[in-house]
Amino acid sequence: MAGVYKLDILESEAELKELLRQQKTASGKERVQVLYLLKTQKAKTVSEAAKLIGRNRGTVQEWLAKYRRGGLEELLLKKVGGGRKRKIPQWAEKALEKKLEKHEGMNSYGEICEWLEEKLGIEAKYKTVHKLVYYRIKASPKVARPKSVEQSEERLEAFKKTSEKT
């Protein structure tokens, strides 16, 4: 008979209900809900379950095939998007982070671009380096402030002491 499924749902109704409550994503809830509907006999066929949750029968069958293969872990496994590869790989990002942590640091984003190309062989645009350093690493090039040759160390220390008290 078409639409009849042969699936042994290992979890109890109570476990499925609790799991349904714990789900944080809509897709996770839908998938557990299908198992719950079939376990409680509220849906006797895959087509009925699909209709009740508003999904295509083929989609529900794919979910059930995942459940057969690997249980709940496989069913609730989130897909990781491919996306574009980063211009500056993770290992280079860590090396740059270590370099920026050092006392001498770097003077500008342009200098960071040059360092990446010379030392690590990675060509990256200024904008890419800026976004990486400023937004991801949350760092900035260390730029030394100009210091007057006439500045007195004693007066500087005195200023520091008096400014801390106020």
In-domain check, residue 97:
yes
Note the pLDDT tens digit of each residue in 11-68: 889 999 999 999 999 999 999 999 999 999 999 899 999 999 999 999 999 999 999 9
Q: The domain containing residue 95 runs over which residues?
A: 90-136
Going by pLDDT thresholds of 50, 70 and 90, the confidence category of residue 3 is: low
**156 lies in some domain:** no
Q: What percent of the chain has pLDDT over 70?
A: 94
100 occurs within a structural domain: yes
pLDDT, tens digit (0-9, with 9 covering 90-100), for 123-143: 999 999 999 999 999 888 876
Cα dihedral value 29, 35, 55, 61, nearest 10: 130
Residues 71 and 96 in one domain: no
| One domain, residues 33 and 70 | yes
For residue 161, is it within any domain? no
Could you tell me if 58 and 20 lie in one domain? Answer: yes
With 0.75 as the threshold, say if the pTM is over it: no
Inform me whether the pLDDT recorded for 103 exceeds 80. Answer: no
DSSP per-residue letters across 18-70: HHHHH--SHHHHHHHHHHHHHHTTSSSSHHHHHHHHT--HHHHHHHHHHHHHH
C-alpha to C-alpha distance for 64 and 53, rounded to whole angstroms: 14
Q: Look at the chain and report how many structural domains it folds into.
A: 2
In a domain, 42, yes or no: yes
At 93, is the pLDDT very low, low, confident or very high (cuts 50, 70, 90)?
Answer: very high
